[in-house]
Amino acid sequence: MNSQKKPSKNLPTIVGKFSTEQAAQEAHHAIETAGFRVEQISLETQNLNISSEIKETQALKSARGGAIAGGIFGAAAGFCLSLVASNFSDVGPAVEGHISIFNFVLTLGGAALGAVGFGLMGGLSGVNAPKEDTEADREQSSRNYLIEVWGTKEEVERAAEILRQQGGQL
């Protein structure tokens, strides 16, 4: 894509929008062929920032993987903490007779906490990763090609007619 700076003078301007690069290139060539100078024409790519829906991203897959990994890691950490805590002679009268329940509750709590934490981290990181099968569609639909032509009032009117004939939106 060539990109020309508009002259500092306040010249009349027309902008045509095309959905494909090929159509924009053809319109650019038609305007040059009609006698416009290269300095009067600008061809730019406009990237549209389309917010993607969660179902079009890797968020759910990442959250699921994070929850599984977090559950395993949290259960292991909770179990280790329960073993360490049960070795202390001063665990308290409420836990003293129920060490196996204490170990189970800490292991289960660690698994739940790990699953939630890692699942959130995985889900949030997956929001910015689009699914593989929608990337090409998103790439095509997120771009417009703009041709800007400036000059005298008559030149701009002639360029507008050429852009319309080439299928551009004004």
- The tokens for 55 are 């179902």
CATH architecture assigned to 13-49+142-165: 2-Layer Sandwich (3.30)
Cβ(60)–Cβ(123) under 8 Å? yes
Please provide the DSSP assignment of the chain as one string.
----PPPSS---EEEEEESSHHHHHHHHHHHHHTT--GGGEEEEEEE--PPPPGGGBSHHHHHHHHHHHHHHHHHHHHHHHHHHHHTSTTS-HHHHT-HHHHHHHHHHHHHHHHHHHHHHHHHHHHTTSB-GGGHHHHHHHTEEEEEEEESSHHHHHHHHHHHHHTT-B-
| Span 83-94, pLDDT tens digits | 777 666 565 555
pTM: 0.45
pLDDT tens-digit profile of 34-73? 888 888 888 888 776 555 565 667 777 777 888 888 888 8
**What would the mean pLDDT of 140-146 be, rounded to a whole number?**
75
Q: Looking at per-residue confidence, does 128 or 108 come out higher?
A: 108
Residue extents of the structural domains in the chain: 13-49+142-165, 54-133
Average pLDDT of the chain, as a whole number? 76
Confidence of residue 120 (pLDDT cuts 50, 70, 90): confident
- Give the integer Cα–Cα distance in Å for 42 and 32: 11
